[in-house]
């Protein structure tokens, strides 16, 4: 896979342009190639300087998957079953041997009468690794999201999110009327493994198709793929690409709801419908993330928007992309962010009686304006220019990736009016899965920079909006009036 240093144009090309981009740009990786180092992760070992380092997210459970073969499956389909737990030698029950092949066949096998795309060949198709024409018809039939299609098995990729009770929460493709049956089918397959083999199913492979399941109690996430490179490839952390995609979708749900809220609602009843807590914008965000994770572009009405940064970051172990600028400019931006920690409140002439009362009751507020400031970012799109963090805390790369993508999705739904400020509560799953941090987001433009710069200030207090706004205005003024940045940020 070749990673270009150039950022794709933000224009909305046609499906033909997207087809050409997929075929020639190397967006879909070849399993025989190795990624070059254009994408890096950002960490700050101290609050005074930035350090660029490669960072991959490691699995908490380092047990390697153990392969096992069930005789009944070999006779029928010969799939390869992988379990995340070591085998204890117990044989599956006769009931599981008889029923599971039929269930898997119903879930995975597409209709045999389905025809391949017609029309002239346009060369090698990286999505199918054959000479199938990569034309508009192929993209609409096999790739683009279709919520009205009853038979979604023609799609190359499908995601399901459901509760352990089989209650549907999200599906990338398909009509709600037909999803209920598949939710029951998935829970039956999982229960068959748990009861018959005393194991959690991790993945099921059958010819050119693979199903990956992640049990995030009380949620179950499922990915089904017919894309060859996803079936065989893994990312640097040793986890399959599909498993990492499910982790990204789960992190988004945790970001907007938090683990504590999800657990609390299902504790009152396992049949709880989590869709009540998700907005239309959240479902659109899940669609967008799923398309960007799988193909590196997203489709909105009649336009295709190419955005490979999130795709490449996920492939390279959820690493964070940095915009290429000089070290001098990055150091100066870091200094400007750090200067917010020295800001003081401008209280004017406080009331004497109030001051004495606050001191006696111990409720006197600190004169530091940014006492609640935890992290700070300067970004263009979702590429980082500068990053500030406290000495004793650090956001993991998964949290930063979720943060930047969630903010970008929120900003895309807001009119581009001058001076628009956003105050977004988000839960960073690896930082604190039970609580929220509050993100002040503001975009500002520079006359010498083509794209707007986004400032993100993350606070631990929900009441610090105006303090964060004042700190952000300080940063914007410093950046706009710095002559060094005038030359270095001509991007």
- The Cα 405–Cα 384 span in angstroms is 12
Whether residues 334 and 272 share a domain: the answer is: no
Nearest of 449, 382, 455 to residue 412 by alpha carbon: 382
CA angle 261, 263, 264 (to 5 degrees): 65
pLDDT < 70 stretches in the chain: 1-122, 151, 198, 234-238, 301-303, 347-366, 416-419, 491
Whether residues 369 and 271 share a domain: the answer is: no
Q: Is residue 253 part of a domain?
A: yes
Report the CATH number at residue 232: 3.30.450.70
- pLDDT at site 271: 86
- The Cα 280–Cα 283 span in angstroms is 5
480: which 2 tokens?
């706009």
Whether residues 258 and 167 share a domain: the answer is: yes
- pLDDT at site 403: 93
- The Cα 72–Cα 79 span in angstroms is 10
Nearest of 437, 442, 475 to residue 459 by alpha carbon: 437
68, 117, 210, 220, 358 from 102: Cα distances, Å: 19, 28, 16, 21, 72
Q: How many C-beta atoms surround the C-beta of residue 15 within 10 A?
A: 19
Q: Is residue 290 part of a domain?
A: yes
Q: Is residue 130 part of a domain?
A: yes
Q: Is residue 451 part of a domain?
A: yes
Whether residues 256 and 339 share a domain: the answer is: no
Whether residues 132 and 209 share a domain: the answer is: yes
Q: Is residue 18 part of a domain?
A: no
3-state DSSP of the chain: CCCCCCCCCCCCCCHHHHHHHHHHCCCCCCCCCCCCCCCCEEEEEECCEEEEECCCCCCCCCCCCEEECCHHHHHHCCCEEEECCCCCCCCCCHHHHHHHHHHHHHHHCCCCCCCCCCCCCCCCECCCCECCCCCHHHHHHHHCCCCCCCCHHHCCEEEEEEECCCCEEEECCCCHHHHHHHHHHHHHHHHHHHHHHCCCEEEEEECCEEEEEEEECCEEEEEEECCHHHHHCECCCCCEHHHHHHHHHHHHHHHHHCHHHHHHHHHCCCCCCHHHHCCHHHHHHHHHHHHHHHCCEEEECCEEEECCHHHHHHHCCCCCCECCCCHHHHHHHHHHHHHHHHCECCCCCCCHHHHHHHHHHCCCCCCECCCCEEEEEEEECCEEEEEECCCCCCCCHHHHHHHHHHHHHHHHCCCCCCCCEEEEEECCCCCCCCCCEEEEEEEECCCCCCCCEEEEEEECCCCCHHHHHHHHHHHHHHHHCCHHHHHHCCC
- The Cα 29–Cα 17 span in angstroms is 19
Whether residues 233 and 378 share a domain: the answer is: no
Whether residues 301 and 413 share a domain: the answer is: no
Residue 446 lies in domain: 327-347+363-488
Q: Is residue 162 part of a domain?
A: yes
Whether residues 271 and 375 share a domain: the answer is: no
Q: Is residue 356 part of a domain?
A: no
Q: Is residue 128 part of a domain?
A: yes
Backbone angles phi, psi at 217, to 5 degrees: -45, 130
- pLDDT at site 231: 86
CB 156 within 8 A of CB 226: yes
Whether residues 234 and 311 share a domain: the answer is: yes
Whether residues 303 and 333 share a domain: the answer is: no
Whether residues 397 and 272 share a domain: the answer is: no
Residues in the chain: 491
Cα end-to-end span (Å), the chain: 25
Report the CATH number at residue 432: 3.30.450.30
Q: How many C-beta atoms surround the C-beta of residue 204 within 10 A?
A: 23
Q: How many C-beta atoms surround the C-beta of residue 239 within 10 A?
A: 18
As a whole number of angstroms, the longest Cα–Cα distance in the chain is 87
Q: How many domains does the chain have?
A: 2
Backbone angles phi, psi at 353, to 5 degrees: -65, -40
Whether residues 295 and 340 share a domain: the answer is: no
């Amino acid at each position: 896979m070749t990673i270009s240093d150039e950022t794709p144009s933000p224009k909305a090309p046609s499906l033909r342009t997207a087809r050409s981009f997929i075929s020639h740009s190397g967006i879909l990786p070849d399993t025989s190639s190795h990624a070059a180092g254009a994408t890096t992760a950002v960490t700050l070992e101290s609050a005074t300087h930035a350090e660029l380092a490669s960072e991959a997210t490691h699995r908490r459970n380092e047990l390697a998957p153990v392969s096992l073969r069930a005789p009944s499956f070999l006779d029928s389909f010969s799939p390869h079953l992988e379990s995340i737990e070591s085998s204890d030698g117990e044989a599956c029950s006769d009931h599981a041997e008889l029923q599971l092949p039929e269930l898997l066949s119903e879930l995975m096998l597409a209709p045999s009468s389905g025809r391949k795309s017609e029309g002239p060949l346009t060369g090698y198709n990286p999505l199918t690794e054959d000479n199938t024409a990569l034309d508009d018809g192929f993209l609409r039939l096999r790739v683009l999201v279709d919520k009205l299609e009853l038979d979604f098995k023609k799609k190359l990729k499908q995601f399901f999110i459901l509760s352990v009770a089989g209650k549907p929460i999200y599906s990338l493709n398909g009509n709600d009327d037909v999803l209920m049956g598949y939710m029951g089918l998935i829970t039956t397959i999982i229960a068959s493994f748990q009861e018959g083999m005393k194991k959690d199913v991790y993945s099921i492979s059958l010819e050119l198709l693979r199903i990956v399941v992640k049990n995030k109690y009380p949620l179950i996430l499922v990915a089904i793929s017919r894309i060859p490179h996803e079936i065989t490839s893994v990312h640097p952390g040793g986890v399959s690409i599909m498993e990492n995609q499910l982790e990204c979708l789960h992190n988004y749900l945790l970001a907007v709801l938090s683990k504590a809220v999800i657990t609390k609602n299902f504790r009152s009843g396992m049949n709880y419908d989590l869709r009540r807590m998700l907005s239309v914008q959240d479902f659109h965000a899940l669609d967008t993330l799923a398309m960007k994770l799988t193909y590196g572009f997203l489709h909105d009405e009649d336009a295709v928007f190419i955005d490979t940064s999130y795709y490449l970051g996920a492939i390279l172990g959820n690493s964070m992309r940095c915009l290429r600028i000089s070290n001098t400019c990055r150091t100066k931006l870091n200094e400007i962010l750090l200067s917010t920690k020295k800001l003081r409140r401008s209280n004017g002439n406080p009331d004497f009686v109030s001051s004495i009362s606050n001191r006696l009751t111990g409720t006197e507020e600190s004169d530091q304006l940014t006492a609640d400031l935890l992290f700070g970012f300067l970004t263009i799109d979702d590429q980082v220019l500068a990053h500030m963090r406290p000495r004793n805390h650090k956001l993991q790369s998964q949290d930063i990736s979720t943060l930047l993508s969630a903010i970008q999705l929120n900003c895309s739904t807001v009119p581009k009016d001058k001076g628009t400020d956003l105050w977004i509560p988000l839960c960073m799953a690896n930082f604190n899965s039970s609580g929220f941090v509050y993100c002040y987001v503001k975009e500002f433009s520079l006359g010498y920079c083509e794209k707007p710069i986004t400032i993100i200030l993350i606070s631990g207090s929900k009441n610090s909006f105006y303090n964060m706004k004042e700190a952000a205005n300080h940063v914007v003024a410093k950046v706009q009036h710095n002559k060094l940045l005038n030359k270095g940020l001509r991007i």
